[in-house]
């Protein structure tokens, strides 16, 4: 990652200026982080331990929970600790690691959500062929392809950024290191890099969103000839996924499909796909899914029984 930069560290600007607001944000973000760890951890454990959840849909849900854990853990711990310390710096290597992690987990989640939409399309529109189309090998390949695709995307974003010279100032107008704020600090012409970033990140988010919209339009059209009970079950199954897609893709597309003109605005929008969505995903899926709630109650019952046996 060596380049012609004379900057060894960057200064991250907090979400709040006053000490009172910083303390308020500290407790708020700490609660959100703990809730995200607990929720996504419970979903991962439930899917891994309950044989009834060893299906393609829950296999993808397990990967989504792991990605949410990775995404929120890449940005939030540093942001939380910065509220308590005066020196809010991050090393050059640490900054690039944050950049890589955010785009790796974020892009992989984009692909996983697209795969989940295909899974729902197959289950609802082609139910007789579902078991032959969504085999264990096929699901494994789609998940591996999603993780590899996210890795390739993140490597491209990281290489584009590390090749730029940084010679001051070093204040990153964000609570984590991202491409757009770092481009503002480069002491070189970043127009070509900025266009490449938009073409890379923005088009991935936009094209995946279009695919998701088309797939759910096809699903809704296919439900017209079904019974009301069949429509209710299908819509209930897809409702959670559609909610997650809207919460995740809306802010991502807004941030990366256009040149960044207002970093303070991007900072607020970034909270949705790096903090709010990873916290809400477990609630969205568990509140609307009887099987996941049943698996969690089963795990809780095992824990209580084991504690009683020790006593």
Give the chain's domains with CATH numbers: 12-303 (1.20.1070.10)
Question: Hunting for tokens 């204040």 — which residue is that?
Answer: 171
**Other C-beta atoms lying within 10 Å of the C-beta of residue 184:** 15
Q: How far apart are CA 296 and CA 45, in angstroms?
A: 9
262 vs 212 pLDDT, higher one: 212
Q: How far apart are CA 42 and CA 39, in angstroms?
A: 5
- At residue 287 the predicted structure's pLDDT band, cuts being 50, 70 and 90, is low
What percent of the chain has pLDDT above 70?
87
Q: Are 72 and 275 in contact (CB under 8 A)?
A: yes
pLDDT score of 272 more than 90: no
pLDDT for 221-256, tens place per residue? 887 766 676 667 667 667 777 888 888 888 887 788
When the pLDDT of each residue in the chain is averaged and rounded to a whole number, the result is 84
- At residue 170 the predicted structure's pLDDT band, cuts being 50, 70 and 90, is confident
Helix axes 92-125, 228-256, angle to 10 degrees: 160
pLDDT score of 196 more than 60: yes
Q: How far apart are CA 306 and CA 311, in angstroms?
A: 9
State the pLDDT at residue 2.
47
Q: Write the DSSP assignment of 250-309 as a string of letters.
A: HHHHHHHSS----HHHHHHHHHIIIIIHHHHHHHHHHHT-HHHHHHHHHHHHHHHHHHHH
State the pLDDT at residue 1.
45
Q: Are 157 and 200 in contact (CB under 8 A)?
A: yes
Q: How far apart are CA 11 and CA 94, in angstroms?
A: 12
pLDDT for 43-81, tens place per residue? 888 888 888 888 898 899 999 999 999 999 999 999 999
- At residue 140 the predicted structure's pLDDT band, cuts being 50, 70 and 90, is very high
């Amino acid at each position: 990652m060596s380049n012609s930069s004379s900057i060894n560290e960057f200064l991250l600007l907090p979400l709040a200026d006053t000490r009172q607001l910083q303390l308020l944000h500290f407790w708020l973000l700490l609660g959100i982080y703990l809730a995200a760890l607990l929720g996504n951890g419970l979903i991962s454990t439930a899917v891994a331990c309950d044989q009834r959840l060893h299906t393609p849909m829950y296999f993808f849900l397990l990967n989504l929970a792991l990605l949410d854990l990775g995404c929120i853990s890449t940005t939030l711990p540093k942001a939380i600790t910065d509220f308590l310390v005066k020196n809010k710096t991050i090393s050059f290597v640490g900054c690039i690691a944050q950049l890589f992690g955010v785009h790796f987990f974020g892009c992989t989640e984009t692909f996983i959500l697209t795969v989940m939409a295909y899974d729902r399309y197959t289950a609802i529109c082609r139910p007789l062929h579902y078991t032959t189309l969504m085999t264990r090998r096929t699901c494994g390949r789609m998940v591996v392809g999603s993780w590899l695709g996210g890795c390739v995307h993140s490597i491209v974003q990281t290489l584009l950024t590390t090749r730029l010279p940084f010679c001051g100032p070093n204040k990153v107008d964000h609570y984590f290191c991202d491409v757009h704020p770092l481009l503002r600090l480069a002491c070189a012409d970043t127009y070509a890099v900025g266009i490449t970033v938009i073409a890379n990140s923005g088009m991935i988010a936009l094209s995946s969103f279009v695919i998701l919209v088309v797939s759910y339009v096809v699903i809704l059209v296919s439900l017209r000839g079904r019974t009301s009970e069949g429509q209710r079950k299908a819509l209930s199954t897809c409702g959670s996924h559609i909610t997650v897609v809207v919460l995740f893709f809306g802010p991502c597309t807004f941030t990366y499909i256009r040149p960044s003109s207002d970093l303070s605005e991007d900072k607020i929008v970034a909270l949705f796909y790096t903090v709010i969505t990873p916290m809400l995903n477990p609630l969205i899926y568990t509140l609307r899914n009887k099987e996941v709630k049943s698996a969690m109650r089963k795990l809780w019952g095992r824990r209580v029984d084991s504690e009683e046996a020790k006593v």
